[in-house]
Structure formats: C-alpha cells, structure tokens
Structure 1
Amino acid sequence: MSTQLLIERLEKWGWHHTANQIHGLLEDASKDNVPYSEFLDTILLNEIEKRESLALEKRIQKARLPYQKTIHDFDFSFQPSISEKRVSCRFIENGENVLLLGPPGVGKTHLSIAFTMEAIIKGYSAAFMRTDDFITECKKAEKAGLLNRVIKRWSRPHILVIDELGYFPFDELSANVLFQVISKRYDQRGALIITSNKSFVEWGKIFRDEVLATAILDRLLHHATTFNVKGNSYRLREKQKAGVTPV
C-alpha cells in the first residue's frame, strides 16, 4: 500500500493528525525496526492524545472563563482561611454545589475558576457567567422569545459558575429565571459554583424577594459546600506593592 493511499484512508476516517504525522511515524518505525503491535499502539496513542487535547481546548473555550487559573496558582499562605486540601474536584463529581462567600478581592473568582479548570481537565463541561451578564442575557432572551432555550442551555453543563452575586440587583425576570435554572440543576444533580460578597441572610435584598431567596437557598444548600473566604484583598496587596496605596 502506498503512503498516499494510507493518508487518504486516515483522512477519510477523520484521523487528520495521524495522516499529517504518518511519514515521520513510518520512517521512525522502519529505522528502529519497531514491531507491528508497538507501531499500531504508537499510532493509536498519537491520535487519542491529539483528540483529547482538542476536546480539552473546546471545553475550555465553551466555558468562557475570563482567564485561566489553577489551584496551584492560588496563594493559600495569603488566605489561610482556605485549606488547599478542601479545594478539590470531588464536589463536582458528587454533583455538589460550591458557594464561595467573602469580601471583594480575596480570591473567590480565582477559586471558582480553579475548581472549574480542574473539572474541565477531567472531562466535565462548564459555563461561566458574571451576574450582570446573566441579568442582561435574561432580558435579551425575553425580548427574543428565547427564555426557555437559554434556561435549557444554562441547565445543560456539568458545572455552571455564577460570579459576583450581590454586586448587581436582580429584577423579577432574572430572579425567576435563576430560580428555574437552579431548580432544574437541582433535579439533575448538576453542580453550581457561586461567588458572592453577601452573606446568605442578605440574599433576600439581592433578589428583592425573601420567599424566592429562601427557595433558592433551600435548593443550593441541600447538596453544597460553603467556603467563607476571609483575609486581605489580593488587589489591595498588589497596589501596596506598587506603591499606589499606603500600607
């Protein structure tokens, strides 16, 4: 069989990466007198690794994370209130929610992204949204008659991250949509990661409805781990280092 025919057959079955590499693979196998089984294993591993890499890139892209951070990037010495041992993908695997509470600048968003990145690497799908974007999307969807579609879309990923809950007040529409999304994810055991600068007792003000806030918290907290992130602000520390803010 000619190499060109082999390339055509590989491309026909979607093995484009192996097709592009086949000349080098054949040359190395011939030079090193590689056994057929080992050569086949090399080809298979080569294609699998490439497909897994592309799938990971696709999951990261679809998640729309504002930036990429891992647990190893987090300065636990600066925030001793958080134990590195507790920051694990185990919560996501068990379908539990993760609630990160604390004042601005203490690393809540970083931790939410770290949780999400760890889960994405393990093959889970994710979607990241800031609260103001969530509220805006609800208004746009209502005008376009697509509310049910966006509720389904936000209910689908293994992980949904809602960042900065508490900075932006919900209107009746967005509060009810959030309740529907949380309810659907609760039924499906889909994990939610929420960061907030407000304690749970203040959530009634966020949603402008104490009853709705209670219903939301009831579903969120049933299967959840809460992290109370305390300590100083990272952003303030960086400003102090730069001499912008006096120590």
Structure 2
Amino acid sequence: MNTELLVERLKQLGWSYTADQPDGLLEDSSKNNVSYSEFLYTLLSKEIEYKEAIELEKRIKKSRLPYVKTIHDFDFSFQPSLDQKRINEALTGRYIHHGENIILLGPPGVGKTYLAISMAFEALTQGHTALFITANDFISECRKANKEGLIQRIIKRYCRPDILIMDEIGYFSFDELSAPTLFQIISKRYEQGAMILTSNKSYVEWGKIFGDDVLATAMLDRIVHHSTTFNIKGDSYRLREKKKAGLQPANIR
C-alpha cells in the first residue's frame, strides 16, 4: 500500500503521532514478525499515549503551577512530623472525588508549597483539572476584576477546576473585597470541588487574616468539615541549604 495514502487516512482520523512515522512502525513490525493484533495494539497504544501526553501538557499549562515537582523528590526524613502514609493516601486522589480538602499548615520553608504542587501534579496526571494561585495574587486579581466589573467571572473561574490550590494564606491580609469573594468560592465548592490550601498561620489566627472573625469561622466551617490537615513542625529547607552553603551560622534557626 502507498504510505502516502495511509498517512492521509491517519490524518483524517486525527492520528498525528502515527501519521508522522508510518514507515518506522511498519519496518519495526516487519523485522520482528509482529502479528496483526499486536501491531494494531502497539499502534493504538502509542497514539493514545501521545494524545494523553498532549492533554496533560495542556492541563499543566492551564493549572498555572509555578513549577512542576513530584513527591518522589521530597525529603521526608527532614520533616519527621509528616506521616508519609497519609501523604501517599492523598496522592491517590480520592479526596478529589469526594470534594474534600487538604490543608498544609506550618512555618515558612517547611515544604508546604512543594507538597501542594506535587499533589496537584499527581492529580493532573490522573486526568483532573487544577488551578493554582497565591493568596496575594488572588487579592490583586479581585481588585482588578472589581474595577472592570468582572468579580463574578473571578468566582466562576475558581469554582470551575476539580482542584483549587491557594498558596501562602496568612502572609498578606485579605481586604473587604477579596475576603467575601473567597468565601463565595469556598461556599460554592463546598462538598463539590476539592481544595489544597497552605498557610503559615494556625486556624485561630484566620480571623486576623480575613479581618472578620465571623467570616473566617464560616470559611473554616466549610473548609475543615471534609478535610485532611497536615501540621508541619520541622525546620526550613531553605535555611538548611543556606547552612550547607555556609551562608548562615549553624546555630541560627
């Protein structure tokens, strides 16, 4: 058969990966005396793997993750307060299907953002959608959207993905616009969409973060109801690296 005609038909099916390399696939099949069924299975598998890789790339881009990390590089030995079995359970993604939340609490530098990103990335590889934003960027987005009369669009945007990841809650105070906007998002996502939140503040301090004890209590009531909290009490990874590099005296914590 004329391979040009084969390529044309493959492109009509949208099989771009196979269409780009029919000669190689046919040659490998012929050399190894592959059966028709095995050849067809290989063809389908490679095309599916290619399409899945493209879709994963799209989901990663849309998620706005600041970087990609996997849990395999996380140093659990440096953070003994973390239960690796509980982390591995979170990585299964069951919390997503149940609309539950993961809260990572602890001082700066203990790996909260790393864990949040690695959990989000694992979910992306499982086919879920995600959206990452820092609390400070969220506050800025709300102010800009409000000036343009688009605050409802912000609410819809952050209610849409399977997982919403909000990082660094507590470093900046929410204002009279961003606090109730976040509350609306949390309320709409309650028992419907999962969230991963990181904070350097304990729950009792959230009233100060949002400038309203009643609002903070209402938020926490919905967030914590179906959630898993990881309270990380170890030292800072960044400080450890500085010590290794001789940039920080070893006795300073």
- TM-score relative to the length of structure 1: 0.96
Cα distance, 1:95 vs structure 2: 2.2
- Structure 1 residues 92-101 or 175-184, which shifts more? 92-101
Q: Does 1:118 align with 2:125?
A: no
Deviations 1:33-83 (A, max 9, x none): 322222111111110010111111111111111111111111111100001
Cα distance, 1:195 vs structure 2: 0.4
User: Secondary structure in 1 aligned to 2:164?
Assistant: strand
User: Percent same amino acid at aligned positions?
Assistant: 65
**What residue is the counterpart of 1:16 in the other structure?**
16
**Aligned mates of 1:36, 1:104 — CA distance in 2:** 58
Q: Does 1:140 align with 2:144?
A: yes
- The count of aligned residue pairs is 246
Cα distance, 1:4 vs structure 2: 0.5
Deviations 1:180-208 (A, max 9, x none): 11111115x21111100111111111110
**What residue is the counterpart of 1:223 in the other structure?**
226
Q: Does 1:234 align with 2:237?
A: yes
Cα distance, 1:123 vs structure 2: 1.1
**What residue is the counterpart of 2:112 in the other structure?**
108
- Structure 1 residues 211-220 or 93-102, which shifts more? 93-102
**Aligned mates of 1:113, 1:93 — CA distance in 2:** 18
| 4+ runs deviating over 3 angstroms | none
Within a 5 Å distance, the mapping from 1:1-247 to structure 2 comes to 1-87=1-87, 88-89=90-91, 90-187=94-191, 189-247=192-250
What one-letter code is carried by the residue in structure 2 that aligns with 1:157?
A: P
**Aligned mates of 2:97, 2:83 — CA distance in 1:** 19
**Aligned mates of 2:169, 2:29 — CA distance in 1:** 57
- Structure 1 residues 98-107 or 145-154, which shifts more? 145-154
Name the Cα RMSD after superposition.
Answer: 1.2
Cα distance, 1:93 vs structure 2: 3.7
Cα distance, 1:6 vs structure 2: 1.1
What one-letter code is carried by the residue in structure 2 that aligns with 1:129?
A: I
Cα distance, 1:231 vs structure 2: 1.3
**Aligned mates of 1:202, 1:33 — CA distance in 2:** 68
Cα distance, 1:32 vs structure 2: 2.8
**Aligned mates of 2:34, 2:246 — CA distance in 1:** 62
Deviations 1:67-104 (A, max 9, x none): 11111111111100001111122333432100111111
User: Secondary structure in 1 aligned to 2:20?
Assistant: helix
Deviations 1:143-184 (A, max 9, x none): 222211221111111111100000011111100110011111
**Aligned mates of 1:175, 1:191 — CA distance in 2:** 19
What one-letter code is carried by the residue in structure 1 that aligns with 2:59?
A: R
Which blocks of at least 5 consecutive residues in structure 2 are unaligned? none
**Aligned mates of 2:42, 2:101 — CA distance in 1:** 40
- TM-score relative to the length of structure 2: 0.94
**Aligned mates of 2:28, 2:71 — CA distance in 1:** 39
